[in-house]
Structure 1
Amino acid sequence: MNKQVVSDGTLGKSLDILDSVVGFGRAVRFSEVLEISPYPKATLHRIMQSLTSQGMLAYDEERHVYVPGMRLVRTARHAWNQSSLAPLAAPFLDTLASDVGETVHLAQMENGRVVFIDKRTPENGFKTMAVAGRRAPAHCTGVGKAMLAFMDEKRRAQALENQLYEPFTPATHTTPGTLLKELDAIRAGGVAYDREEHEQGIVSIAAPIFDGYRRVIGSLSIVTSTMRMAPDALEHFRPALLRTTAQIGTEAAVWPFPAAQ
């Protein structure tokens, strides 16, 4: 066991275990889940059996491995269609990526962590590692800082408590003070930048997406490499970026998407 977690009883433990199994990204043996689980072997086995009987996990008796069950797949598909901005934003991402000729990232936030929801890479665009479902820190990404800056104070305070301030590059914020100062500037300027803060050589310009109540429900970024473009040149993309976030926000106004938190 490698960590301690606080769970809401059996339900919380079950969700933690589902996250662990799905997080492997492949079929996984019980022993592998046990190795990273904070729960005793008997507890883990009992809950995984229950999840299997409920269709949330499936067990392959020949290979002795677990995979996500079809009930989980169905639930995830419905949840994706209702809470993810990806289906609604798809045509706007297509247009933006085509217009700017660079990769576009769509993101939402959960518990202070960026969750990449979708991306578009034009034929000659810079290829990035982001994929739908991948998580990233908020304190050092353009999409993360764009959401943090425009959250209400309560949600922002909660999200900031979850930042670890890992120093990914020499440009990364490593203290709340420097980050908060930049968030003030982002609110004043309307857009956020990633100036090689998460990965050296990668830069972006990002803007928040608001719902009809001016709540932040996501963010959008245009991403490129310093080999292709000087960081200051990203400002050229501001009009197209802001136009697209406004279009997505208008479409999202009729549906209660979850606020960034």
Structure 2
Amino acid sequence: MALVEMVADAPEPLRFTDILNASGQPRGTLHRQLRHLLEEGLIETDRDGAYVPGLRLLRLASRAWSRNEFRKLAAPHLQVLHEATGETVHLALLRGADVIYLDKVEARQAVRMHSLIGNASPAYCTGVGKAALSTLTDEEVRGRLKGVAFERFTDSTHVDLVSLLSDLREIRQRGFAYDLEEHQPGIRCVAASICVAGQNILAGVSVTAPAYRIGEGVLDGWSGPLRAAAEAITRDVRAGLAPRR
């Protein structure tokens, strides 16, 4: 799995020597593991012999997405939120120090987001990520982000844990999170948390739009339908994923 992720996450196809140097595996062991992954269709080689993700991953990803109960229970509420705002709506799960985008309803406007379902982004600089983190205690946040290097994506990105924790305290008081061009220049969003402890679900739902189209006043105006959507998703997930008796 580490090799599959290495190949899938690489911005360019990887040569054998690239994987050998990055993995630290003995040459013979690495040859054997790559051969098995090729036989299973989890990786492939391009015309230059470099390794790329295999098409079988698409089939597995499609099944995981279509059968994910959390996503299916949330989907109607994402649509309602989209209709109320007209902008792009995201649903994302907190996994470690990142958020994984699980679903998206695209904006009706001409300029749209280029986010992709299945992509991961740092939790510390995204609206959905900060909303999810805000449901944790400061100590839990420190533990979850231990060892994370705070990369500065824009001039607004949190650069350390102290700054993030201060923001999270404001989010807890306010009830929703902002992303004011912290991850991508020119992109703003407002997000609310979804927490279903019994199902180990920490997530966020957000409304996102280009900064030129919205100010903080617009974001505040979306907080009502946003929080209503988050509460409805939480309620339905608790009911829908409750253990069968």
- TM-score, normalised on structure 2? 0.83
Q: Distance in 2 between matches of 1:247 and 1:138?
A: 23
Q: Alignment partner of 1:227: what SS?
A: helix
| Structure 1: tracts of 5 or more residues without a match | 1-14, 257-261
Q: Alignment partner of 2:76: what SS?
A: helix
Q: Alignment partner of 2:89: what SS?
A: strand
Q: Alignment partner of 2:145: what SS?
A: helix
Cα 1:19–1:31, aligned 2, differ >3 Å: closer, same or farther?
same
Cα 1:152–1:56, aligned 2, differ >3 Å: closer, same or farther?
farther
Q: CA RMSD in A?
A: 3.0
Kept after mapping to 2: 8 A contact 1:138/1:163:
no
Cα 1:59–1:233, aligned 2, differ >3 Å: closer, same or farther?
closer
Matched, 1:22 2:8: yes
Kept after mapping to 2: 8 A contact 1:102/1:125:
no
Matched, 1:133 2:126: no
The one-letter code matched in structure 2 to 1:47 is Q
CA shift at 1:78, angstroms? 4.7
Cα 1:75–1:154, aligned 2, differ >3 Å: closer, same or farther?
farther
Q: Alignment partner of 2:91: what SS?
A: strand
Q: Distance in 2 between matches of 1:177 and 1:188?
A: 17
Kept after mapping to 2: 8 A contact 1:212/1:249:
no
Number of residue pairs the alignment of both structures matches: 240
Q: Distance in 1 between matches of 2:141 and 2:44?
A: 41
Q: Alignment partner of 2:92: what SS?
A: strand
Matched, 1:85 2:70: yes
In structure 1, the partner of 2:218 is: 233
The one-letter code matched in structure 2 to 1:87 is K
Cα 1:85–1:103, aligned 2, differ >3 Å: closer, same or farther?
same
Kept after mapping to 1: 8 A contact 2:127/2:191:
yes
In structure 1, the partner of 2:142 is: 157
| Structure 2: tracts of 5 or more residues without a match | none
Q: Distance in 2 between matches of 1:48 and 1:195?
A: 43
Q: Alignment partner of 2:179: what SS?
A: strand
Q: Distance in 1 between matches of 2:147 and 2:80?
A: 34
- Selected match of 1:47 from 17, 21, 33: 33
The one-letter code matched in structure 2 to 1:68 is G
Cα 1:32–1:182, aligned 2, differ >3 Å: closer, same or farther?
same
Q: Distance in 2 between matches of 1:205 and 1:123?
A: 18
Cα 1:74–1:228, aligned 2, differ >3 Å: closer, same or farther?
closer
- Equivalent pairs: percent with the same residue? 30
String of CA shifts for 1:180-220, please: whole Å, max 9, x gaps: 11111111111000111112221110001122649652101
CA shift at 1:35, angstroms? 6.0
Cα 1:212–1:158, aligned 2, differ >3 Å: closer, same or farther?
closer
- TM-score, normalised on structure 1? 0.78
Q: Alignment partner of 1:248: what SS?
A: helix
Cα 1:51–1:111, aligned 2, differ >3 Å: closer, same or farther?
same
